[in-house]
Amino acid sequence: MSAVMNSSNRTQPALSERTIVITGASSGFGKGVARRLAEQGAKLVLVARRTDLIEALASECGNAIAVTADVGNANEVERVSNAALVQFGGYDVWINDAGVAALGYFDEIPLEDHHRVVQTNLLGVINGSHCALHEFRRQGHGTLINIASVLGKVPAPYYASYVATKFGVVGLGAALRQELRASGENESIHVCTVMPGAADTTFFVHAANYTGHRLQPYPLDDPEPVIEAIVSAVEAPRDEIAVGTGTSTAILSHNLAPALTDIANGVVTHQNQMEQAPEQLPTPGSLHQPQDAGRGVHGGLKEQLAREQGGVH
């Protein structure tokens, strides 16, 4: 049996011998990760609200199944776990990638939108982590990968409930690793937290936007380095992985000088998003209902911004 070495110097089965659950698989990082893992022969359980997209992706990926679910619903997440057990006899890796956002002045965003962000980003991760760790402990091994954000370490204005959930995801991972170390299970069960910066995925296509302006994150990276980081965590788990332009620097800066970093980040974000970005009408995005737009890995925002600034003709 072929195998790879993880960060604890213990062998793991090759990807072709492992089953991997991916939430948020209909677009963005989730779709990109699914394709990369399928290339290496992994068995996949693809999860999202958009049935047509994950069914098409499952057909593309080969040895894969599609399970329609809203990760904020614990019963639906349990159904995902059961489907993986029935189809593949278990799973070796669970990736919590589903995520949403509502941007704008905190008190101008409808309260139900904030609740929905928390339901998906934090409760969804808790639901998936609960199923995964229960199964990993039963079988004696497994890797849980939770997708957080640099905003889980370094806050930014106009992302308030999103920031709160990502701080929660980072904290959840740290607490779970403490439990696993205390019980002596940290050599066989791993909890990884991936913290990307802003990336040009469908995330900003789907986000609820109450800023009064078009969403204009900066800096904006390509999604491929994040996809590669997630795939690397499958093969060689690490506790926390920061990826993206300036992400590690921003985290270090916040650790060393939190007050100054908060002030600087607040000023830059306000100018870029609330003063310089073109005006746009409010939209709830895909918070409460899936939308047809944003079906690929890339969101196209980076190209659009470059074109408007004269960088692409």
Closest CA to 145 of 157, 156, 132, 134: 132
- Which domain range does residue 249 map to? 15-308
- Please tell me whether residue 240 adopts helix, strand or coil conformation: strand
Q: Other CB atoms closer than 10 Å to residue 110's CB: what's the count? A: 15
pLDDT of amino acid 31: 98
Dihedral sign for Cα atoms in the order 39, 43, 48, 51: positive
d(CA 171, CA 165): 10
pLDDT of amino acid 5: 41
How many structural domains are present in the chain?
Answer: 1
Report yes or no on 1 lying in a domain: no
Report yes or no on 76 lying in a domain: yes
Closest CA to 32 of 188, 176, 229: 229
pLDDT tens string 244-277: 999 999 999 999 999 999 999 999 999 999 999 9
d(CA 81, CA 131): 7
pLDDT of amino acid 11: 57
Report yes or no on 5 lying in a domain: no
Report yes or no on 78 lying in a domain: yes
Closest CA to 90 of 129, 52, 142: 142
Catalytic amino acids?
162
Report yes or no on 9 lying in a domain: no
d(CA 35, CA 59): 11
How many percent of the chain have pLDDT more than 90?
90
pTM comes to 0.94
Report yes or no on 174 lying in a domain: yes
What is the block-wise mean pLDDT of the chain (313 residues), using blocks of 10 residues? 43 82 98 98 98 98 97 98 98 98 98 98 98 97 98 98 98 98 97 97 97 95 97 97 95 97 97 96 96 95 81 44
Burial class (CB in 10 A: 0-12, 13-18, 19+), 222: middle
Dihedral sign for Cα atoms in the order 258, 259, 261, 262: positive
pLDDT tens string 169-195: 999 999 999 999 999 999 999 999 999
Which helix (H) or strand (E) segment holds residue 116: the answer is helix 111-118
Cβ atoms of residues 161 and 210 within 8 Å: no
DSSP state letter for 38 = H
Report yes or no on 57 lying in a domain: yes
Residue 67's CATH number: 3.40.50.720
Any idea what the Cα angle at residue 83 is, between residues 188 and 98, rounded to 5°?
75
Report yes or no on 27 lying in a domain: yes
pLDDT of amino acid 1: 34
